[in-house]
Amino acid sequence: MTAVSHRVSVAEWAAAADAVRGLAPGDEIQLICHVNPDGDALGSMLGFGLGLRRLGFTRVRATFPGQFEVPVPYQALPGLDMLVPAVEAYREARLILIFDVAAESRLGALAPLAVEGFSVVLDHHASNTRFGRINLVDARAAATSVVASSLLDRLGVPLDAEIAECLYVALATDTGSFKFDLTTPAVHELAARLIATGISPADISRRIFDTRPFGAMKLAGEVLGRAQLDRTAAGGRGMVWTYATLSDLERYEQRPYVLDTLIDPIRSVAEADVAVVVKETGPSEWAVSLRSKGAVDVSAVAVALGGGGHRLAAGFTGHGTPEEIVKAVRDLLDANLT
Ligand code: 5GP
Ligand code: MN
């Protein structure tokens, strides 16, 4: 295994394109993205799947591990008819394409399938373990959809409005609506190409970012209201954190994905470089989101605790109480100041 590379080599691009070109139209192709999929995972996977259909492939399925639930904002994505529960994934696909997955652990029960088959990994996490046969991992790409669109270009697939909508949702999600640090001129050039197909960024943004049930808004109020500021954490740069339980979700009759955007108001706190949201997912099990404004490499913290991600946005699965989990994070912060 080679060291983590930040860009994709010419040979890797060629190998991935050849892997697709070598298939017959009726060959089975399985697409997989990570557990609890977000906009980039679903958007890059479905956008690429639509591209494969345009190339004439008739057997294309998409799936993800864990609970088979697509967050409501993504339920209007084009290409959703490709999506099947994990048990209906092609077991002997000629080609497996894996989207936005930094490590096998994010593939749950689908990990053996992905590792034993002929797999191409498309991803942008610096912590990617390069578990595929071919690894298109570009840690400087703002989203996996940047990698996916690049491979579609190399395969000669013209962008249309359906493909563009998927890729735009992915790009807008992972760049925080074109606000985050990897939002380069190339990102805006890609966005321009996508918008030129006729999609409506305003409609998409309202649907994806600016719509939520009343209960989700009230739940957010409660979770934000219990946030705590620890000024001395991270060498005095500060840490702000909060948590949400399954009983919070039950009380407001909300699904877990509504908690995923709460990291954004939390990370806006001026007095803290590091933001943490601890979300209960099962008995003594929590999904932890970490963000940094730059002083701390939170991906190193996440990796040390069994997870992964990017320098400024990372996560892991925690066990115990929220206080115990936050203490473990706090203990690692000083060691990972950048
Ligand atoms: P989020 O906080 O939005 O769920 O995730 C932020 C980043 O951390 C994403 O890039 C995501 O892939 C990564 N991440 C979140 N949770 C985990 C985890 O449990 N394991 C790994 N390897 N990465 C994670
Ligand atoms: Mn991503």
CB of 47 closer than 6 angstroms to any ligand 1 atom: no
Q: Which residues contact 156 (CB under 8 A, 6 or more apart)?
A: none
How, if at all, do strands 239-244 and 274-282 pair? parallel
Whole-structure pTM value = 0.94
Does residue 145 sit within a domain? yes
Task: Give residues whose Cβ lies within 5 Å of ion ligand 2.
Answer: 40, 100, 144, 174
What is the distance between the alpha carbons of residues 230 and 234, in angstroms, rounded to a whole number? 9
Low-confidence ranges of the chain (pLDDT < 50): 1-5
**Same-domain check for residues 153 and 241:** no
Residues 242 and 279 in one domain: yes
Q: Is the CB of 317 under 6 A from ligand 1?
A: yes
Ligand 1 proximity of 291 Cβ (cutoff 6 Å): no
Q: What is the pLDDT of residues 156-211, one digit of tens each?
A: 999 999 999 999 999 999 999 999 989 999 999 999 999 999 999 999 999 999 99
Predicted local distance difference test score (pLDDT) of residue 6? 66
Q: Which of 183, 208, 233 is the last residue of a domain?
A: 208
Query: What CA dihedral angle connects 74, 78, 79 and 85, to 10 degrees?
Result: 20
| Atom 8, ligand 1: residue with shortest CA distance | 314
Q: Do 223 and 191 belong to one domain?
A: no
Looking at the fold, whether 189 and 222 belong to one and the same domain comes out as no
* Domain count of the fold of the chain: 2
The verdict on the CB of residue 99 being under 6 Å from ligand 1 is no
**Pair (230, 135) in one structural domain:** no
Burial grade of 186 (CB within 10 A; 0-12, 13-18, 19 or more): middle
**50 and 182 part of one domain:** yes
In terms of Cα–Cα distance, which of 313, 263, 256, 252 is closest to 285? 256
Question: 314 CA distance to ligand 1 centroid (A)?
Answer: 5
pLDDT at 5: 47
**In this structure, are 224 and 80 located in the same domain?**
no
Does residue 4 form part of some domain? Answer: no
Q: Which residues make beta-bridge pairs with 315?
A: 289, 308
Range of the domain at 317: 215-337
Q: Is the CB of 313 under 6 A from ligand 1?
A: yes
- To test ligand 1's pocket by mutation, which of 260, 310, 312 has the most ligand atoms within 8 angstroms of CB? 310
pLDDT of residue 3: 38
Which of 175, 208, 241 lies at the terminal end of a domain, its last residue? Answer: 208
Q: State if residue 310 touches ligand 1 by the CB under 6 angstroms criterion.
A: yes
**Last residue in a domain, options 187, 208, 229:** 208
Ligand index nearest the alpha carbon of residue 122: 2
Does the residue 3 lie in any domain? no
| pLDDT number for residue 268 | 98
- How confident is the model at residue 1, as a pLDDT? 31
Alpha carbon of 241 to ligand 1 centroid (Å) = 17
